[in-house]
Amino acid sequence: MLLSINERSLYYKKTGRGSIAIVLVHGGPGLTLDSLAIIHDLLPEEEYTVISYNQSGSANNENAPKYNTTQQYAEELHEVIQALEIKNPFLFGHSWGGAIVQEFLWRFPTYKIRGIILSNSFPSGKKLKRAIQKRIDELPNEFRLHRKKCLEENDGAAYQALLGEWWMPTFVCRKSPMPNDIATSLGSLAPEVYTHFVGADLLNISGALLDWDRTNELGNISIPTLVMSGGYDYPSRNDFNDMVKNIPNATRWYDEETSHFPMYENPLSYKDALITFMKSNHEV
């Protein structure tokens, strides 16, 4: 379905008919709602109304080119909530989507939100870059040597193949084969959005995301917050603990065996954490 906002039309998905509403904000930057399709399936339709949408610049939209700042994407999230007339929702942000949710809270501090879920997210671009570079050191020297050669020779195809062989199955999704929803979203990645915010190299962030930072605002998050991550996610467990510690009313979910897409790797535990959190804060 397409949602018209001013002159833009965003592709969105809505499932369920329950009184608990949750809006899913996908990552990337430049992925699609397909990457979070499993959450539509995990949450019982009689209790939950689940909405996801493709951000401007992503695939399947009409007249919706990319924005240049995280703040603009936060404003777009606000427009989506208003256009769909969603009352008092939970906001769920995965990875880059979590940055958009944090920016939303800073941009619209009085807007009524029941709670937020920050799944596999981060409070600043520089912290994410440091975390990724530490993860590079955990891979065999063979990976680092091949990576250096690919970058020196500007061989993008070989570099993507290298990431597919080493990085993706270790730190992105450890389920084999990679779930179709993730593969579909990756296949639809919007390069202009991605390179603007990340740069040409996922493992060496150099785009606009590098200067995005809401670390100092974590302490101002007053609504219930669920922070979710895994042992093989980009940020380390110490990074995760720091983020949880700095949010006053934070609940944690952490699975040592999962990576950047834990909802596909351990769906039952992930589902239980989501439902427990939302049910306990539904009347807040």
The 10s digit of each residue's pLDDT in 17-68 is 999 999 999 999 999 999 999 999 999 999 999 999 999 999 999 999 999 9
* pLDDT on residue 284: 55
What digits encode the pLDDT tens for the residues 201-222? Answer: 999 999 999 999 999 999 999 9
Mean pLDDT calculated for residue range 92-116: 97
* pLDDT on residue 185: 98
Question: Of 234, 225, 227, 233, whose CA–CA distance to 256 is shortest?
Answer: 233
Q: Is the pLDDT confidence value at 106 over 90?
A: yes
Mean pLDDT calculated for residue range 125-129: 97
Q: Is the pLDDT confidence value at 158 over 60?
A: yes
What digits encode the pLDDT tens for the residues 133-147? Answer: 999 999 999 999 999
Mean pLDDT calculated for residue range 216-244: 97
